[in-house]
Structures are given as C-alpha cells and as structure tokens.
Structure 1
Amino acid sequence: MNDMTNVRSEVRDLKFGVVDLFCGVGGLTCGLEKAGLDVVAGYDLDATCEYPYTYNNHSLFINKNIEEVTGKEIRKLLRGYDVKILAGCAPCQPFSRHQKDKKDRSKHKDWKLLYQFARLVEEAKPHIVSMENVPELVNEKVFCDFVDTLKRLKYNVTYNIVNAADYGVPQRRKRLLLLASKKKEIVFIKPTHEQVVTVREAIGNLPPIGAGEENLIDRLHITSRLSELNLQRIQHSIPGGSWHDWPENLMLECHKKEKGQTYTSVYGRMCWEDVAPTITTQFTGYGTGRFGHPEQDRALTLREGAIIQTFPENYSFLPEGEAVVIKDISRQIGNAVPPRLGEIIGLSIKEHYTKRKYVRKSESIKKGG
C-alpha cells in the first residue's frame, strides 16, 4: 500500500519545517524526513546522540538542556517555512508502567519536561505541534495541563493511543500520539496494515550468530553473552512460551513461589509469524523480556532491535573504529521513536494541509495559519 495515495502532489509546494525536541538518535526525525518534511534541527541533552543523529539525517544537532532553549531561537530556525512544526517525545520514564515509584511519579527528574515543551509552544507559536509518549501519560496531571495549554493557545488538539503494529512497525507497541493544529481539526491517517509485519519479515534475512558473537560485516549485529545456565534455559524455551517450559532444575526460586507464577513475560522466545514484543532499552538481555531469538540460542542483536524499531538497515549508531558498548546503544534504540511512527505523523500533517485546501496559500499560513 502506498502511504502517499491520499496525499495529493500539490502539497509539495508547501515547505514544512520541523524542530525536534528530545531528538535522541533521530528516530522521529528519520521518519518525518521520509514523509517529506524538512527537520531543521534536533535538541537533546545527551551528547552521545549527536553522531547517529547527524550522520543519518539532514539535520543540525543541538546539545542543549530544554530549559535553556527559547522560543525565539526556534522561530529563527523555522524562518522561511510555510508550515512550522514543533515535535518531540519527552523522556517517558516518569510515566512508564515500568517506573518503580508509581505512587508519586512527579519525583522523577524528567517529570516536568512536558511543561518545558508547553512553554516553547507558547513562545514559538508553531502551526503544528506533535507529541509522542507512553499511553500511561494520559492519566497524569502534566498531560492534562499540556493539552489545556494548547487549547488556551487556540490549537485544535487530537490524541489517540495507537498500536504501532497497525502502521507497519513489527512489534506490539502502544503509544500515545498527539497532534495539534492552528487550523481546524487534525487527525491521524488510518492504519496502513491489515496484516502485521512479522518478526520473520523484519529480521529473518539476517545471518545467524551465536550468543556473545559479533558479525564481521555489520558491527551492530552483535549479541550479549549468556551464562551456561541461561544457555540451557533458552535451549529449553519455545517460541511464544515462557520459563514454564523449562525443567524444574532450571527455574529461578522466585518462579517456584505462588507470586512468581504470574511472571511470564521474561525469559521468552519470539515467534517468527507474530510481531515482536515492545522493544525496551534492555532488549539485548534474554532475561529482561521476550527477547529470545525464535530459533537461535541468544537474545536479539543491536541491529535486530533497530530493525524492529524500523530504523533503516544501514542506520549507523557510532563512528567507524569506536568500540561497541551494547548497553549504551540498546538504550538509545529502545528510547527512540520508531521511524515508521514518525513517518505516519509526517504523512498525517501533510494530509491535514491537503484536505484543508491550504495548498499554494503560503502567505495566509505565514500570517498565523
């Protein structure tokens, strides 16, 4: 299916400029660029993201704390564009269901970053705002305040919880997507995939590799080592199963207790003909989720995780000659917005302007449209 079918060619006359907040290694930027938007710059506090961000995309990386960013500098970056867009995914750790202190999430150091996002919307006054995060955010006051701020600023706000698999991401990944427009209601394009993209379709063509090994051609096709005990465990694991399939001598003590019987989402193998589980920052660990390869006795490689996140197969995460640190790159990949979701966001924005017949009316847009 061609995603551009409903996006008429005339919309190309408009120049869409984007600033990507909390850009990380460039997942959102990569997808927006694929949709035909010009991402001028990405901001992130993590300097290690600069190489993958700039090497793979056509954007400037600005290593800066968002609290120090001003609306004036964002307006300057977006000068000359017909449609000015402020996008971003504030770090989701405070709102994730994996967050340890669920009773008082506001204690987390990143909890207030969405307020900074709202401040920049108010100062920069973009035509479009895009935000992506974990579904749990909808239950938090900070999200309600964010939406209220947008509405106070006369934005039309739409947000949905979507399963990324419905849009061609080969993993079971539910995300909160928000779009806000100064011009009428804005909606997301309909799901693009009636049939999911399976694990086999995503990574089935990659060369076999053993636990603790590295592919000589692609340095990111590398796996974590397994202890002898975990090697035995994965050898007794079946696709879609759990530790319940092991002989008793391989089980952990916690699994033998009544409470432990419910811990079925760890030490599992993926299924070839299904989507992968949600890729987290620890997807290279066999014991941290259902990240066992469907048939090889190991967890996912960095490259496999990146592909399941829908990064291009040749996406480079570190310079030639620099040592691969698995935990660092797995964190970057797991924290990223899947580029395919970024593409869907970009296509939704372009479709919005096509439907509203804003084509070739750049002057009215520049005046606040």
Structure 2
Amino acid sequence: MQEDKIVAVDLFCGAGGLTYGLEAAGISVTLGIDIDPHCAHAIEANSKAKFLQADVAELDAAVVKEALRGGDFKLLAGCAPCQPFSTYSRAAKRKHGESAGDGRSEDWRLAEHFGNIIRKVQPDIVTMENVPPFAQQEVFKTFLEALEGYWVDWRLIECTLIGLPQTRKRLVLIASKLGPIEIPNFDLPRKTVRSIIGELPRINAGGVDPDDRLHKASRLSSINMERIRSSVAGGTWRDWPEHLLLSCHTKVSGATYPSVYGRMEWDSPAPTITTQCFGYGNGRFGHPEQDRAISLREAAMLQGFPQDYSFLPEDEIVSFSKVGRLIGNAVPVTLGTVIGRFIKQHVAEYRSANDTDGM
C-alpha cells in the first residue's frame, strides 16, 4: 500500500527549523509563512517549501487552504513568537523597570490568530510548540478552545531526551481529528557538545573559518579575553581573580547569574541557545576550550541544523545579530523531526485501523 502523503504549512516559520525537521521525517511542507523577510532565503534554500512574507494576524485563511491542497492529510504547524513568555525577555523587562507582561500584548495574541486560522482551515492535524510558561497563560486556554472537535495532547519535552544536545524545554501540543493521540515519553540517546561541534576547525575570537563564513566568532575585548582565559568548562565567574569581576558580581543580586560569562562543557549538553548566543557575556556561551564564544555555525548545529544549512545569500554580509536571531528563535530541527515522525506514525495507525481495502 502506498504511503499517505501529509501536506503541511508552517506558520511563524522563522529560519525553517520546524520545516526542515518535518521534511526530514517525510512530511511535505509546501509553504512557510513569517512576517520577517529575512526568513525567505533560509526556507527556500534549504527546503522544498515556498516562503510567504505575511502577518499571521492579517493572513487570509484561503491562502493556507490552497497550500494544503493535494495531500491525503493536512497538517498546520507553527510556533507563535514566545518573547512575552521567555525567562530571558521577562528578566530583561524587570531589569529596565518594565512590566513582565499582562498577557495581552500583540505577540501574545499571535497564538489567538493561530487559533482563528485553525477554525477556518480545519486541518486534520495541528501541532504547536512554545516555551513552557505558555501553558500557564490565559491565551493558552483560548488556543485550546480553537481545537474544539480535535483530540488534543500536550506536554513539556526536555530536549536532551529527544537527541538534541541542549538543555531546552519546550511545550509541544498535537491535535488530531483522526482519533485519540498521546505524545510519548521520549528517551532517545543523549548527545553532547563534543558530539556535535567537536570536529569543527579551530578559530580565534574575531576569526572566521575560510571555508565556512558562518563558523565565525565575535571579537572579545582585552578584559573579556582575560576573563575567558580564567574560565574553566562548566565553571562560573567565581573562578576569576578579583580584578576581573564586574561590579554586578560583587552585589548580592549577582549571585543569581552564575552562568553568565561561562564556558560550555564538552561532554554535557549546551545551555538553551538564544538569539544572543554569539556573545560570551550573554550566558554560558564560551567555547569549552578555545578562548572565544561559540560561532554562529556551532550555535546552529547545537539547534539541530546540518553543517551546510544556509541562513543568508552568499552575497550578503554575515551579521551576528541577524543570523543569531534566526538561529536562537528557530524551532530546533531535531524537535521538528521527532514531532514529524510521531505524526506520521499516528496517521499510519489511523489508516491501518480504518483501511477497508481488500476486505
């Protein structure tokens, strides 16, 4: 019997981590949609999907319906931007005396717009992933209301358990019209920083690999060079001599940020890769042994992207902030692949239970 074709649209597609992962699992993604035009190259250069620059809040559901034509089953996938829920974002707001959010910002409402599209399109399957705090927000309840008529399951997934070398937790939801669905407890072989980036060529702070312009590390000031040379893998700024400490480290509040200016460990997973992962002072983003922060390529590979993944045209200058944002905001490719394989298994089980051919 011929395998069923699952056709998907990726809302909030970003740099294509979810799209690439779903394709790796054998799902046909026809369209990636994002408001950011810088996502176009990454989607179209690395996948078979077309890119549409559009604001999901104003998106015509007919566009999604058309993109889902031609398959045996229709999948609507997406990750609404999670800045309002992220620990990093909320801490930054508190630092500047701003409210951590009241749940009604336009970014939060993007999940509601996602729900509105579900109501209009009525795909066979929906998958959504986001940061864990999303589950405690009122907007999550509103999103669940959009799934009336679906069997729904969601859970928090620790990414080290799905084969991603990163201590990243994600909320994953899958809804199906085909029948009851239960996301399994994953426990795949663990991967480490060494297993992913251990073979990449050595580069210096401020240097770049002549064969890969994304294997590029940010410059370090002279004092930060002293600091990283005094840092040990898995250690903290508490390992430094006193003259290298920042003023915030001498305050009681500084004790709550031990991983800032830290090095990764070779034989452990990386910390959560953020949009600022190319900066040594932005977290535990120091290379395990080389005196520099991780490169953009290393960050992408720790997010599950293959080593040859293209984030920008060859004639475009590499911008740490632009590429870092694409990498840090991406759905990890590994997570997309695991979700895709589970959806394919669910569809196969449905077909097996309901196939009357030959009876």
TM-score class normalised by the smaller sequence: over 0.9
Aligned residue in 2 for 1:33? 23
CA offset digits 1:269-304 (Å, max 9, x no partner): 000000000000000000000000000000010000
Aligned residue in 2 for 1:257? 251
Q: For 2:288 and 2:116, how far apart are their aligned partners in 1?
A: 46
Contact 2:217 2:292 in 1 (8 A): yes
Q: For 1:106 and 1:305, how far apart are their aligned partners in 2?
A: 30
Counterpart of 2:167, as a letter, is R
CA offset digits 1:330-362 (Å, max 9, x no partner): 110000001110011111111112223448859
Q: Secondary structure at the match of 1:90?
A: coil
Q: For 1:107 and 1:75, how far apart are their aligned partners in 2?
A: 28
Aligned residue in 1 for 2:330? 336
Q: 1:88 to 1:362 in 2, by over 3 A?
A: farther
Establish whether residue 313 from structure 1 lines up as the match of residue 307 from structure 2. Answer: yes
Establish whether residue 199 from structure 1 lines up as the match of residue 189 from structure 2. Answer: no
Counterpart of 2:186, as a letter, is P
Counterpart of 1:298, as a letter, is R
The counterpart of 1:222, out of the listed 216, 227, 232, is 216
Q: Secondary structure at the match of 2:281?
A: helix
Establish whether residue 114 from structure 1 lines up as the match of residue 111 from structure 2. Answer: yes
Superposed displacement of residue 188, structure 1: 2.6
Using structure 2 for the length normalisation, give the TM-score. Answer: 0.94
The counterpart of 2:144, out of the listed 134, 137, 147, is 147
Q: Secondary structure at the match of 1:221?
A: strand
The counterpart of 2:154, out of the listed 159, 166, 173, is 159
Q: 1:166 to 1:299 in 2, by over 3 A?
A: same
Superposed displacement of residue 253, structure 1: 0.9
Q: Secondary structure at the match of 1:180?
A: strand
Q: 1:360 to 1:30 in 2, by over 3 A?
A: farther
Q: Which moved more, 1:313-322 or 1:285-294?
A: 313-322
The counterpart of 1:61, out of the listed 43, 51, 55, is 51
Q: For 1:320 and 1:236, how far apart are their aligned partners in 2?
A: 37
How does 1:39-78 map onto structure 2 within 5 Å?
39-78=29-68
Contact 2:6 2:28 in 1 (8 A): yes
| Structure 1: runs of 5+ lacking an equivalent | 1-9, 364-369
Establish whether residue 237 from structure 1 lines up as the match of residue 231 from structure 2. Answer: yes
Contact 1:85 1:126 in 2 (8 A): yes
Aligned residue in 1 for 2:163? 168
Q: Secondary structure at the match of 1:110?
A: helix
Aligned length: 350
Cα RMSD after superposing both structures: 1.6
Q: Which moved more, 1:83-92 or 1:315-324?
A: 315-324
Counterpart of 1:187, as a letter, is E
Q: For 1:321 and 1:23, how far apart are their aligned partners in 2?
A: 23
Aligned residue in 1 for 2:174? 179
Counterpart of 1:279, as a letter, is I
Q: For 2:243 and 2:186, how far apart are their aligned partners in 1?
A: 46
Q: For 1:291 and 1:252, how far apart are their aligned partners in 2?
A: 18
Q: For 1:183 and 1:168, how far apart are their aligned partners in 2?
A: 28
Deviant stretches of 4+, over 3 Å: 357-363
Q: Secondary structure at the match of 1:130?
A: strand
Contact 1:50 1:61 in 2 (8 A): yes
Q: Secondary structure at the match of 1:327?
A: helix
CA offset digits 1:242-273 (Å, max 9, x no partner): 00000000001111112212220201000000
Superposed displacement of residue 107, structure 1: 5.1
| Structure 2: runs of 5+ lacking an equivalent | none
Aligned residue in 2 for 1:7? none
